[in-house]
């Protein structure tokens, strides 16, 4: 009797939350279906393989010396991003005055010099205090034994994806189609030395974490791993359903409507021995109970090797994956309610 009583309470709670959740999902479903899809696709289509390629060949060039945190190459990389945002007329994110969030040497592991995150910002029209953070780390591992580690996939691919996503949102804003919520473009430093840039950000947030609706984090999206070499139309999706099932729903609905990539959830398993969920910058947001998606192509022979070079990037696929992430951010920024955390 007691046991049954407990069970019935549980099933009652379960039933209530399911109903509420389904109703919300129906609303979103309608939003996504009813929303004029020509608008989002017209801006998504400004993201092109050619522009991604141009940016990536610069960002993963010799000149940037593998972008080791605190070193000359990394400083060149952050200035490159700053110049880009100035040229695109996209505002600085740090108190409206600076693109750099400085991280002191004392915060970072021993031997590592002071460094900076790069933050740019497009203000929302209706709920400017609420925001979507689109992020990717900009640093890599530098020069070792006189060899440059170019990090074309890790993570020039994510970096240039953000540059193009920012440009697409800016193009929308220029035509009066502002996102309702604000979008923050966050390039983290010091990921390769233990996710330090994102850890610093969540401990010293520039925008309130309570108002941060979601973090879409991109780390390696330009290549195809061994498991998908015959079917390269894929992306690994990690973490999307852990804090907000609704986020996972939006992510899938946008993909089904526009892109039809195969979402591989292998690395989203709780018992995944690789523990990728804990291994890139989104995890510092997840720890603060902010819904996250980690976009990832999996590892390959060139992972953390000097052979991770630009000519191995699949730019058509990078374009498609970047458009997917832009469109997902678009719906999250424009939907009528905040994501439900359950």
Site stretch for Zn ion (CB under 5 A), options 31-39, 149-157, 240-248, 271-279: 149-157
The residues, ordered by sequence, that sit 6+ positions from 35 with a Cβ below 8 Å of its Cβ are: 331, 334
Nearest distance from residue 42's CB to Zn ion, in Å? 31
DSSP one-letter string for 51-119: HHHHHHHHHTSGGGGGGBTTSHHHHHHHHHHHHHHHHTT-EESBTTTBSEEEE-GGGSPTTPPPEEEEE
Closest approach of Cβ 192 to Zn ion, in Å? 7
Tell me the C-alpha to C-alpha distance, in Å, between residue 24 and each of 21, 177, 256, 342: 5, 25, 19, 12
Q: Which helix (H) or strand (E) holds 44?
A: helix 37-44
Q: Which of 142, 114, 150 is nearest to 222 (CA)?
A: 150
Interaction between residue 319 and Zn ion (CB under 5 A): no
Stretch that binds Zn ion, among 56-64, 126-134, 152-160, 268-276 (CB under 5 A): 152-160
Size of the site for Zn ion (CB under 5 A): 3
From the list 111-119, 217-225, 317-325, 334-342, the region that binds Zn ion by CB under 5 A is: 217-225
Least distance (Å) between residue 153 CB and Zn ion: 8
Q: Which among 7-15, 213-221, 244-252, 292-300 is the span making contact with Zn ion, rule CB under 5 A?
A: 213-221
Segment interacting with Zn ion (CB under 5 A) among 30-38, 123-131, 148-156, 255-263: 148-156
Task: Output 47 or 220, the one with its CB closest to Zn ion.
Answer: 220
**Residue 302 interacts with Zn ion (CB under 5 A)?**
no
CB closer to Zn ion out of 155 and 268 = 155
Q: To the nearest whole angstrom, how small is the minimum distance from the Cβ of residue 18 to Zn ion?
A: 37
Give dist(CA 282, CA 241) in Å, integer: 13
- The region of 5-13, 36-44, 102-110, 153-161 touching Zn ion under the rule CB under 5 A is 153-161
Nearest-angstrom CA–CA distance, 152 and 243: 31
CB of 281 to Zn ion, least distance (A): 9
Which CB sits closer to Zn ion, 124 or 310?
Answer: 310
Q: Which residue, 130 or 191, is less far from Zn ion as judged by CB?
A: 191
- Indicate the helix (H) or strand (E) that contains 263: strand 262-264
Give me the 30-69 binding string for Zn ion, x by CB under 5 A, dash otherwise: ----------------------------------------
CB of 20 to Zn ion, least distance (A): 38
Q: Is 196 in the site for Zn ion (CB under 5 A)?
A: no
219 lies in the binding site for Zn ion (CB under 5 A): yes
Complete DSSP assignment for 132-171: EEEEEE--B--EETTEE---IIIIIIHHHHHHHHHHHHHH
Q: Which of residues 167 and 297 has its CB atom nearest to Zn ion in the complex? A: 297
In this structure, the number of other CB atoms found within 10 A of the CB of residue 177 comes to: 16
- Taking the least distance from each CB to Zn ion, the nearer of 246 and 264 is 264
Scored b (16 or more CB within 10 A) or e, 293-319 reads: bbbbbbbbebeeebebbbebbbbebbb
Query: Is 281 one of the binding residues for Zn ion (CB under 5 A)?
Result: no
Please tell me whether residue 154 binds Zn ion under the rule CB under 5 A.
yes
**CA distances (Å), origin 116, targets 9, 108, 165:** 51, 11, 21
Nearest C-alpha neighbor of 110 from the set 69, 52, 142: 69
Q: Which stretches of the chain bind Zn ion, using CB under 5 A?
A: 154-155, 219
């Amino acid at each position: 009797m007691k046991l049954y009583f407990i069970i019935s309470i549980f099933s009652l709670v379960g039933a209530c939350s399911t109903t509420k959740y389904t109703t919300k999902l129906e609303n979103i479903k309608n939003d996504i279906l009813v929303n004029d899809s020509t608008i989002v696709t017209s801006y998504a289509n400004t993201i092109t393989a050619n522009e991604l390629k141009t940016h990536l060949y610069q960002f993963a060039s010799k000149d940037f010396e593998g972008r080791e945190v605190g070193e000359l190459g990394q400083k060149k990389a952050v200035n490159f991003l700053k110049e880009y945002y100035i040229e695109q007329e996209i505002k600085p994110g740090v108190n409206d005055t600076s693109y750099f969030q400085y991280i002191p040497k004392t915060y970072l592991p021993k031997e590592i010099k002071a460094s900076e995150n790069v933050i740019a910002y497009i203000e929302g029209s209706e709920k400017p205090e609420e925001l979507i953070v689109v992020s990717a780390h900009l640093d890599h591992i530098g020069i070792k034994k006189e060899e440059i580690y170019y990090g074309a996939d890790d993570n020039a691919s994510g970096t240039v994806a953000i540059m193009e996503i920012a440009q697409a949102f800016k193009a929308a804003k220029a035509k009066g189609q502002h996102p309702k919520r604000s979008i923050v473009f966050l390039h983290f430093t010091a990921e390769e030395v233990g996710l330090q840039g994102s850890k610093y950000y969540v401990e010293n947030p520039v925008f309130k974490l309570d108002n941060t609706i979601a973090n879409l984090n991109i780390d390696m999206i330009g290549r195809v791993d061994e498991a998908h070499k015959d079917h390269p139309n894929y992306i690994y999706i990690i973490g999307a359903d852990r804090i907000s099932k609704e986020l996972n729903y939006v992510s899938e609905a946008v993909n089904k409507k526009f892109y039809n990539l195969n979402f591989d959830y292998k690395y989203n398993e709780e018992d995944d021995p690789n523990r990728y969920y804990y291994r890139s910058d989104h995890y510092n947001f997840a720890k603060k109970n902010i819904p996250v998606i980690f976009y990832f192509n999996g590892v390959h022979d060139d992972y953390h090797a000097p052979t991770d070079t630009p000519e191995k990037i699949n730019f058509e696929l990078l374009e498609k994956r970047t458009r997917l992430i832009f469109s997902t951010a678009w719906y999250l920024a424009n939907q009528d309610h905040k994501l439900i955390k359950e």
